[in-house]
Amino acid sequence: MHCETRQGTKPDHWYVAYTEPRRETVAREHMERQGYETYLPMHGRIEPMFPRYLFFRPATSSQSIAPVRSTRGVQAVVRFGNVYAQVRPELIAAVKEQEALHKHRPPGAPLPRPGQRVRVQANAVALAGLEGLVHASATRRVVVLMEILGRQTPVRLPAETLEVI
């Protein structure tokens, strides 16, 4: 598939690769070797923010995304029917902002308990207003099950970005 932008320019939108379990970094390395720009949002330096999902985009509008499907570590490219899912650059920027919040926010809020419904507060711009169910909590991080890309996805968030509803 080719992107619908001017020939030779970098596409604005991103695509989403669904990786093999715990192989996000392997997929990222192999995709970058093929010339794709990648973004793997992380919690700290160890855990992916969205386990098994890796954002990517071609280097130019003429670079096909078809080879990604057979890239080591990639299970599939996310699509809805026959159309590849596309992510606007504004959402990628918001996720990057959320990632920065995770790295720099001091602890302070009590931890929500498993089973409680929570809403992401406005200070967490990328996911502000989204709601989910607390799956687990430890230290300062809370795992919330949220509906993302049509499926229940565990999202790790700082406790101070959540309000119990």
Domain ranges of the chain: 14-88, 105-164
pLDDT for the residue 103: 62
pLDDT category at 31 given cuts 50, 70, 90 is: very high
CATH superfamily of the 14-88 domain: NusG, N-terminal domain (3.30.70.940)
Rg for the chain, CA atoms, rounded: 17
Cα(first)–Cα(last) distance of the chain, in Å? 43
Q: Is the pLDDT of residue 125 over 60?
A: no
From CA 48, how far away is CA 27, in angstroms rounded? Answer: 13
CATH level 3 topology of 105-164: SH3 type barrels. (2.30.30)
Q: Is the pLDDT of residue 57 over 90?
A: yes
Which residues make beta-bridge pairs with 140?
none
pTM to 2 decimals? 0.63
Q: Which of 27, 26, 25, 38 is nearest to 92 (CA)?
A: 38
Is 14-88's fold the same as 105-164's? no
Picking from 4-18, 126-140, 151-165, which range would have the lowest pLDDT averaged per residue? 4-18
Picking from 62-66, 122-126, 127-131, 160-164, which range would have the lowest pLDDT averaged per residue? 122-126
Instruction: Name the burial class of residue 42, with classes exposed (0-12), middle (13-18) and buried (19+) by CB atoms within 10 angstroms of its CB.
Output: middle
* Sheet architecture: strand order including 162-164: 151-158, 141-148, 131-138, 117-120, 162-164
How many helical (H) and strand (E) elements, i.e. helices and strands, does the chain have?
Answer: 2, 14
